Amino acid sequence: MRKVFSLIFVMFVITSCQEPQPRRPLEVRSGSFLKTSAERNKRLLKQETSLMQDLAQKDSLRKFQSSASGFLYAYEKRNSEDDRLAAPGDLVTLTYNIRTWNEDTLYRQEEIGVFKYLVDKEELFPGMRYSVKLLKEGEAATFLYPSSLGYGYHGDDDRIGPNTPLKCTLQIFKIESETQSE
């Protein structure tokens, strides 16, 4: 009996002295989904950019300009007397509407109403956040956004579907600097 206990003790000591074996994942992912998704998004952006350029060229009423953020815009009303643009922290009073590139109205200006936006401190869709900083007080402009600068692949869970490029007209009524609004 003593030999059996000695043998068990020796086996226990031998097995406990081995390095612990790391657990291996049950399933190995290759990352191909992310690569495929990135490629699909690049193709979509390229198509939308091409279509956006075509829409801008066909619009005989407006002269569209390119922004550094990847959208196009055309002024409806200019303010040549003022040169101050909205900066982060400013309180901007504005109105806007949201349409598709086919001119289907998604949200009317009257529905949204006059809106107060604290620049870069509150949520707006990406294209609108960039656009607010391009206009001066009293100016209005029409913007063409690819879906990546709108509500993206998810939409807004209401009227704006997935991957919907947007057309918006934005008007800035007042810009109050951070020190003025306190």
What is the C-alpha to C-alpha distance for residues 79 and 69, in angstroms, rounded to an integer?
A: 22
In a domain, 36, yes or no: no
In a domain, 75, yes or no: yes
CA nearest 124: which of 168, 161, 84, 162?
A: 168
In a domain, 160, yes or no: yes
Please name the residues in contact with 70: beta carbons below 8 A apart, sequence gap of 6 or more: 49, 146, 148, 149
In a domain, 107, yes or no: yes
What is the C-alpha to C-alpha distance for residues 79 and 135, in angstroms, rounded to an integer?
A: 9
State pLDDT tens for residues 9-60. 766 666 666 677 778 777 767 778 888 888 999 999 999 999 999 999 999 9
- Provide the residue range defining the domain that includes 110: 64-176
In a domain, 81, yes or no: yes
CATH code, domain with 112: 3.10.50.40
In a domain, 144, yes or no: yes
In a domain, 121, yes or no: yes
- Whole-prediction pTM: 0.80
User: What is the rounded average pLDDT for all residues in the chain?
Assistant: 90
For the CA atoms of 147, 131, 74, 152, what is the dihedral angle to 10 degrees? Answer: 0
Confidence at 176, pLDDT banded by 50, 70, 90: very high
Q: Report the domain count for the chain.
A: 1
In a domain, 9, yes or no: no
Confidence at 179, pLDDT banded by 50, 70, 90: low
Rg for the chain (alpha carbons), in Å? 28
- The whole-number average pLDDT for the span 69-95 is 95
Q: Which residue has the higher pLDDT, 18 or 70?
A: 70
